[in-house]
Amino acid sequence: MEFHEKLQELRKQRGMTQEELATALYVSRTAVSKWESGRGYPSIDSLKAISGFFGVSLDQLLSSEAVLTLAEEDSKEQESRTRSLVFGALDCCTGMLLVLPLFGQRDREPIWQVSLLSLTG
CATH number at residue 59: 1.10.260.40
Residues 51 and 74 occupy one common structural domain: no
**Amino acid making up residue 101:** P
Residue at 118 is within a domain: no
Residues 46 and 77 occupy one common structural domain: no
Residues 9 and 59 occupy one common structural domain: yes
Given a contact cutoff of 8 angstroms between Cβ atoms, the answer to whether 70 and 42 are in contact is: no
Query: Which distant-in-sequence residues (6+ apart) come within 8 Å of 34 by Cβ?
Result: 40
**Amino acid making up residue 97:** L
Residues 89 and 59 occupy one common structural domain: no
Residues 76 and 57 occupy one common structural domain: no
For residue range 49-106, list pLDDT tens digits in order. Answer: 999 999 998 888 887 566 677 778 878 888 999 999 999 999 999 988 887 767 766 6
Query: Which distant-in-sequence residues (6+ apart) come within 8 Å of 71 by Cβ?
Result: 44
For residue range 5-64, list pLDDT tens digits in order. Answer: 899 999 999 999 999 999 999 999 999 999 999 888 888 889 999 999 999 988 888 875
User: Domain limits at 57?
Assistant: 3-63
